[in-house]
């Protein structure tokens, strides 16, 4: 396992057998485990080469622990990691219909749990970010909450109570957005409607963390970002440049995933016919979106914002990000788009 992790030869510092035997058998010398090794894998490796044979796990135990370690490496988000371990441990590919139903149920359970932790009296900020079920729960707690909840419903649905048909439509939009992010064309013999653990982990790196300040925000982040014209998601640099050249307007721009580094994004901008620019947006340890650019005074400036759309708004002036580039495959998921069809020439002539 150490060799697979490091891709190196163990004990290569020894060239004398007696010194090697003494170091390993008497002094308990072991290869150094890389600092970025997942704690669960580190502990398994250390137990496997423990001096005491009774401590070393059996192969049945190793295989069971590797199921959890695979999830640890594939999913960094705390909610997503625990979700997969609780619901799909030992499976790396899940049918889409089973996955989305299980995910929605888990999200509702988490939101209910977080809701019970909140104080009885809601703040305006809590109401703005609350789901409909959470608003109903707040409204049942006190008369003061009830009036504030009715105002929030008026803001969202133009009526003092929820529009459940609109809620169902919104839930379907979110499901379609998640599907668009997770389901990719696979090779021969693999069904399209399947979710891979690695793909789920990548999605959470770009849109996580799932829970912020005792609120489940994953769905809102996905819904908000995919509704923005300038967000094009998983396209490569060449495709981004083709779309910007087709737009052919200085100041046209789009934002896409940085495919070389999950969790990061890239701004692609059409400066002029001979110059297309690409700039990376990174994530800080506290999951802020961070960006560096040269300001008008010629100084390198670093900005960080809690959301990607807030960062783009902040830098659009200095960078001259003027025209969001159309053509994202997500636009149809979040907007009321009229589906086209073939024209009946016979009816057209009669009319």
Q: What is the mean pLDDT of residues 75-91?
A: 96
What is the predicted pLDDT for the residue at 189? 53
Alpha helices in the chain (DSSP H): 2-6, 17-21, 39-48, 59-74, 78-88, 96-117, 124-129, 132-139, 143-157, 164-182, 197-207, 218-226, 237-247, 308-319, 331-334, 345-350
Would you say residue 350 has pLDDT above 70?
Answer: no
What is the predicted pLDDT for the residue at 348? 47
pTM higher than the cut 0.75: yes
Percentage of the chain lying above the pLDDT 90 cut? 63
Q: What is the mean pLDDT of residues 36-54?
A: 95
Q: What angle do CA 113, 116, 121 make, to 5 degrees?
A: 145
162 versus 225: which is more confidently predicted?
Answer: 225
What is the predicted pLDDT for the residue at 339? 47
Q: What is the mean pLDDT of residues 305-326?
A: 93
Over residues 181-195, the pLDDT tens digits come to 998 755 555 556 899
Return the CATH number of the domain spanning residue range 228-334.
3.30.505.10
What is the predicted pLDDT for the residue at 74? 96
What is the predicted pLDDT for the residue at 338? 47
Over residues 119-151, the pLDDT tens digits come to 777 788 778 777 777 777 788 877 778 888 888
Q: Which two tokens stand for residue 290?
A: 């961070």
Sign of CA dihedral 305, 309, 314, 316: positive
What is the predicted pLDDT for the residue at 91? 95
For the chain, the domains span 2-57, 80-225, 228-334
Say which residues have a Cβ less than 8 Å from residue 336's Cβ, sequence separation at least 6. Answer: none
């Amino acid at each position: 396992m150490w060799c697979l992790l490091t891709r190196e030869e163990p004990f290569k510092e020894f060239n004398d057998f007696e010194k090697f035997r003494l170091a390993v058998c008497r002094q308990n010398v072991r290869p150094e485990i890389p600092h970025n090794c997942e704690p669960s894998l580190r502990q398994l490796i250390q137990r496997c080469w423990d001096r005491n044979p009774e401590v070393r796990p059996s192969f049945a135990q190793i295989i069971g622990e590797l199921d959890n370690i695979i999830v640890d490496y594939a999913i960094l988000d705390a909610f997503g990691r625990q979700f997969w371990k609780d619901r799909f441990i030992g499976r790396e590919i899940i049918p889409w219909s089973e996955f989305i139903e299980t995910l929605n149920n888990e999200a509702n359970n988490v939101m209910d749990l977080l809701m019970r932790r909140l104080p009885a009296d809601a703040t305006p900020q809590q109401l703005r970010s609350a789901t409909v079920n959470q608003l109903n729960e707040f409204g049942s707690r006190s008369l003061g909450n009830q009036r504030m909840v009715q105002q929030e419903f008026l803001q969202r649905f133009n009526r003092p109570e929820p529009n459940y048909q609109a809620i169902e439509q919104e839930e379907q939009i979110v499901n379609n957005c998640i599907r668009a992010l997770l389901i990719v064309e696979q090779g021969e013999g693999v069904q399209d409607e399947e979710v891979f653990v690695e793909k789920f982990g990548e999605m959470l790196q770009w849109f996580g963390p799932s829970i912020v300040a005792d609120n489940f925000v994953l769905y809102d982040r996905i819904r908000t970002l995919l509704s923005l014209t300038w967000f094009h998601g998983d396209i490569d640099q060449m495709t981004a440049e083709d779309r910007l050249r087709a737009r052919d307007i200085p100041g046209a721009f789009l934002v896409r995933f940085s495919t070389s580094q999950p969790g990061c994004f890239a701004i692609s901008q059409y400066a002029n016919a001979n110059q297309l620019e690409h700039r990376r947006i990174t994530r800080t340890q506290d999951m802020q979106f961070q960006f560096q650019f040269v300001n008008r005074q010629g100084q390198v400036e670093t900005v960080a914002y809690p959301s990607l759309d807030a960062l783009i708004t902040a830098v659009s002036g200095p960078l001259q990000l003027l025209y969001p580039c159309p053509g994202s495959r997500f636009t149809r998921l979040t907007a009321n788009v009229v589906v086209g069809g073939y024209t009946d020439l016979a009816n057209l002539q009669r009319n």
